[in-house]
């Protein structure tokens, strides 16, 4: 049976509701206590989308900054340990001298 009016099909309505509740959850969860569920649910759609996008941009910046900080720290740690130097062709290697007899005292 086809619908005689414009609207959501049951499948698309289900996806819409899941996306709506996921967006509300993420705003409430990542908003650090600044929003409650009922406020976000009753918020105008354009404002809810704006708020969601702002929070998402913030966390994307924080994640990218922490990733670059971790890379810098690992590079600094590798530098502090010291890299293995390539041996030069001109250096002569001298064998170590060992005493084969213990000294008598």
Buried residues in 47-57 as b, exposed as e (16+ CB within 10 A): ebeebbeebee
Span 43-102, pLDDT tens digits:
999 999 999 999 999 999 988 888 887 777 777 666 666 555 555 666 676 777 776 666
Q: Is residue 2 part of a domain?
A: no
Q: From residue 84, how far is each of 22, 79, 95 by CA, in Å?
A: 51, 10, 21
Q: Is residue 60 part of a domain?
A: yes
Q: Is residue 47 part of a domain?
A: yes
Q: Is residue 98 part of a domain?
A: no
Which pLDDT score is estimated for 65? 85
Q: Is residue 43 part of a domain?
A: yes
- The stretch 13-42 carries a mean pLDDT of 90
Indicate the pTM of the whole model: 0.58
The boundaries of the domain holding residue 43 are 10-81
Residue 26 backbone class (left: φ over 0; alpha: ψ -120 to 50; beta: rest):
alpha
Rounded to the nearest angstrom, the gap between the alpha carbon of residue 16 and the centroid of all alpha carbons in its chain is 27
**Based on the structure, what is the number of domains in the chain?**
1
Q: Is residue 96 part of a domain?
A: no
Span 3-27, pLDDT tens digits:
566 777 878 888 888 999 999 999 9
Beta strands in 1-105 (DSSP E): none
Q: Is residue 104 part of a domain?
A: no
Q: Is residue 97 part of a domain?
A: no
């Amino acid at each position: 049976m086809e619908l005689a009016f414009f609207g959501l099909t049951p499948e698309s309505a289900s996806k819409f509701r899941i996306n709506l509740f996921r967006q509300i959850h993420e705003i409430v969860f990542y908003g650090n206590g600044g929003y409650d569920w009922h406020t976000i649910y009753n918020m105008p759609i354009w404002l809810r989308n704006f708020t969601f996008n702002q929070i998402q941009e913030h966390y994307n910046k924080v994640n990218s900054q922490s990733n670059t900080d971790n890379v810098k720290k690992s590079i600094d740690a590798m530098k502090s340990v010291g890299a293995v130097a390539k041996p030069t062709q001109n250096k002569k290697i001298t064998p170590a001298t060992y005493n084969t007899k213990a000294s008598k005292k």
